[in-house]
Amino acid sequence: MPSRYDSGMSDASVEHLAATLDLQTVRVVRQIAEHGSLTAAAASLGYSQPAVSQQLQRFEERTGIALVERVGRGIRLTESGRVLARHAFAVTTALEAAAGELAEIRGLRAGRVRLVAFPSASATLVPRLIASLASEYPGVAVTYVEAEPPEAVEAVRADRADLAITFSYPGDRDDPHRASARGLDVRAYGDEPMQLVLPEGHPAAESDVIMLDRLAGEPWIAGCPRCRGHLLELAGAAGFTPRIAFETDNFVAVEGMVAQGLGVALLPALALEASPRHPGIVTRPTARADVRSLHLVTARGAERVPAIGATLAALEALAAG
Amino acid sequence: MPSRYDSGMSDASVEHLAATLDLQTVRVVRQIAEHGSLTAAAASLGYSQPAVSQQLQRFEERTGIALVERVGRGIRLTESGRVLARHAFAVTTALEAAAGELAEIRGLRAGRVRLVAFPSASATLVPRLIASLASEYPGVAVTYVEAEPPEAVEAVRADRADLAITFSYPGDRDDPHRASARGLDVRAYGDEPMQLVLPEGHPAAESDVIMLDRLAGEPWIAGCPRCRGHLLELAGAAGFTPRIAFETDNFVAVEGMVAQGLGVALLPALALEASPRHPGIVTRPTARADVRSLHLVTARGAERVPAIGATLAALEALAAG
DNA sequence: CGAATGCATGCCGTCGCGTTATGATTCCGG
DNA sequence: CCGGAATCATAACGCGACGGCATGCATTCG
């Protein structure tokens, strides 16, 4: 014969109980344990007294677990109530720890951003960026690795980096705007002028700008594979196929070779800025003012990550300054 | 100049953030961290996919904290998301621990009940009660202390006991039904017959029941103060004032004195049951079938505490059996 | 014995939070 | 290169949880 004293749901599962435990009840019970009365708990939580009263009633009806019992004109926690209050401390403490860390990240007092950029940015753009971030947000950790555009984009996709600085040139078959960056955010970050590099005294250097086809017969010193692709693209448009005499991805070496009269080269402006101007060379823009485009690649929505947003903002400031 | 990349709420307080952290988001993020996709997290939580999608959006709008970023056709957690996921484990673990303990109590596999009862119940009612509880609910801890009714009620009020077994007699000025138990629950637990105790061979023992006034001239052996009060009350109703020859709260001693012919006594049935019948005495009910009433006193609503409810049910079963 | 205290109750408006249906991308296989 | 599957976002909608306020009831205190 069932007693009138059984709860009627004594065998409900622990999982279901955990799923129906709500934070409000946990907070309420914690405050009741600390203040001893329902009214004081309500005031402490910024609620009206009936609110917490109903909160408890809903919980008790839902779970069949009595948390408080009336005594006189007040209440006190039952055994279950005290048990929950004890755990409530652990729960709210863990939540506050989480909130603290999130606030640190949101306030840019913590966080990290993993940069990846092409090599010629390593000596110019990236150091300035890192210095700017470090002085403004000392709590944000910045890491940096070098990688050519295709690998850089892949690093973002595979979550090995947060922000990739890439470049592309018109006609580039690996243009980050195209398929390789599908599902990512790509921001244009301005254009970088291409500079022709000639030995001092080269006849073509007499004019301020140079038609590319004037150098059709020169031996060329090519850079990295993609830079070489850009050269071939531009030369093709100008109606000739350049004769590649040397190849190296070391820009300083390129300048040295040009100074030695071994050939001419086409270098992006950043590469030339990376080191003090090598003696014995001159640089001229192309007549068509050719450029390569810079891009910032992130996961979609990543600008809302404070550290990444701050990095994007710093990059904008660098471009403007 | 504010950048377009700032969140717009970077200085909101940690307290506010902790207050707006909700359990659903914590659970969702935990599942996303474990399953890697929003759809799988939804399935794991038993929700539809849009539900968790909106849950995340609401959180991000409320707090300005991005938890996920899109990549390809999927998502991944941001830095903040991973931080929250890490803490989410602590939070849900603490909640599950709480749920587990509550379920144990609800399922009567744990819990405690603190009993307090009057002395003559110690040897009869209480042992049977404890034995019954111990065999049916081995996980429930039972403690017991002896106290006379006024102190027993006070123990419940002061949270030194959960359940008091008390008695009262008609006209009792300390009747638990009255002011002393204000704000508590009082349940009637039947009546206990009062028995007159006479030495063997006493002339009044020849009849099956005894009119109290037949013993008006006898010396009386009184029990505890309240028992003495009951005797005075009944004798007063019968028209005489008993002459108290001895007083002791030791019921066995009372029986011994009666057996020695030192007087007669009025004892409750439970006191007589507590020990084997003392030789040389006989017991008879009073002609008016006088009784004292038993009561069970708890905090209001305490019957919903599983261990206390089970104790009440066990007491009912004992009374019925 | 009236005033004050503490909790419960009833009523009600709002909005959080689910659902289903549908759209927009992305990825994959033929 | 082109459907189809997979994944998340969006829209529309309904319900119930959850607040507040006003009020009632029991207890306690002066």
Digit-by-digit pLDDT tens for chain B (321 residues) are 567 777 655 455 788 888 899 999 999 999 999 999 999 999 999 999 999 999 999 999 999 999 999 998 999 999 999 999 999 999 999 999 999 999 999 999 999 999 999 998 998 999 999 999 999 999 999 999 999 888 899 999 999 999 999 998 877 766 656 666 788 999 999 999 999 999 999 999 898 999 999 999 999 999 888 888 899 989 999 999 999 999 888 888 999 999 999 999 999 999 988 888 889 999 999 999 999 999 999 999 999 999 999 999 999 999 987
Query: Are B3 and A307 inside 8 Å of each other by CB?
Result: no
Q: Can you tell me which residue has its alpha carbon closest to the C1' of nucleotide D6?
A: B73
Q: Which nucleotides of C are covered by protein (CB under 7 A)?
A: 5-10, 16-21, 25-27
Q: Can you tell me which residue has its alpha carbon closest to the C1' of nucleotide D25?
A: A73
Q: Tell me, what's the pLDDT at B16?
A: 84
CA atoms within 13 A on the CB side of B288: 12
Q: What is the pTM of this model?
A: 0.84
B184-199/B264-268 β-pairing: antiparallel
CA–C1' nearest nucleotide, residue B40: D7
Query: Are B106 and A299 inside 8 Å of each other by CB?
Result: no
What is the DSSP code string of A16-69?
A: HHHHH--HHHHHHHHHHHHHSSHHHHHHHHT--HHHHHHHHHHHHHHH----EE
* A111, two tokens: 């966080």
Chain A positions in Cβ-Cβ contact with residue B65 (cut-off 8 Å) = 102, 105-106
Choose the closest CB to B10 out of A96, A100, A106: A106
Give the chain A residue whose CA is nearest to the CA of B89: A94
Query: Are A14 and B99 inside 8 Å of each other by CB?
Result: yes
User: Which residues share a beta bridge with B291?
Assistant: B193
Residues in A 160-219 with any Cβ partner in B closer than 8 A: 182-184
User: CA A93, A96, B25, B63: dihedral to nearest 10 degrees?
Assistant: 170
Q: Tell me, what's the pLDDT at B2?
A: 61
Minimal CA–CA distance to B104: which of A70, A56, A17? Answer: A17
List of residues 6+ apart from A115 with CB closer than 8 A: A126, A129, A130, A142, A143, A144, A145, A161, A162, A163, A164, A165, A311
DSSP A245: E
Query: Are A84 and B98 inside 8 Å of each other by CB?
Result: yes
Q: Tell me, what's the pLDDT at A8?
A: 56
Query: Are B65 and A101 inside 8 Å of each other by CB?
Result: no
Q: Can you tell me which residue has its alpha carbon closest to the C1' of nucleotide C27?
A: B73
Q: Tell me, what's the pLDDT at B251?
A: 87
Choose the closest CB to B300 out of A5, A71, A184: A71
Give the distance from residue A307's alpha carbon to the nearest chain B alpha carbon, in angstroms.
9
* A258, two tokens: 């040009």
Judge whether B94 and B142 are in contact, CB under 8 Å. no
Query: Are A97 and B90 inside 8 Å of each other by CB?
Result: yes
Chain A positions in Cβ-Cβ contact with residue B80 (cut-off 8 Å) = 102, 105-106, 305
Residue to test with chain B: of A3, A4, A5, most B Cβ within 10 A: A5
Confidence tier at A144 by pLDDT (50, 70, 90): very high
What is the DSSP code string of B159-203?
A: TS-SEEEEEE-TT-TT-TTSGGGTTEEEEEEEEEEEEEEEETT-G
Give the distance from residue A66's alpha carbon to the nearest chain B alpha carbon, in angstroms.
6
Chain B positions in Cβ-Cβ contact with residue A316 (cut-off 8 Å) = 3, 5
Q: Tell me, what's the pLDDT at B171?
A: 74
Q: Tell me, what's the pLDDT at A174?
A: 60
Distance CA B163, CA A265 (A): 96
pLDDT digits 0-9 by tens, A121-139: 998 999 999 999 999 999 9
Q: Tell me, what's the pLDDT at B5?
A: 78
Query: Are A69 and B105 inside 8 Å of each other by CB?
Result: no
**Displacement of CA B77 from its chain's centroid (Å):** 48
Distance CA A246, CA B47 (A): 62
Q: Does the beta carbon of A91 lie under 8 angstroms from any beta carbon of chain B?
A: yes
Q: Can you tell me which residue has its alpha carbon closest to the C1' of nucleotide D10?
A: B50
Q: Does the beta carbon of A23 lie under 8 angstroms from any beta carbon of chain B?
A: yes
Q: Tell me, what's the pLDDT at B15?
A: 82
Average pLDDT over residues A270-279: 88
Å between CA of A73 and C1' of D28: 8
Distance CA B294, CA B314 (A): 15
Distance CA A260, CA B157 (A): 101
| Coil/strand/helix, residue B30 | helix
CA–C1' nearest nucleotide, residue A71: D27
Q: Tell me, what's the pLDDT at B173?
A: 63
Confidence tier at A115 by pLDDT (50, 70, 90): very high
Average pLDDT over residues A222-243: 89
Give the distance from residue A259's alpha carbon to the nearest chain B alpha carbon, in angstroms.
44
Query: Are A106 and B183 inside 8 Å of each other by CB?
Result: no
Average pLDDT over residues A274-288: 91
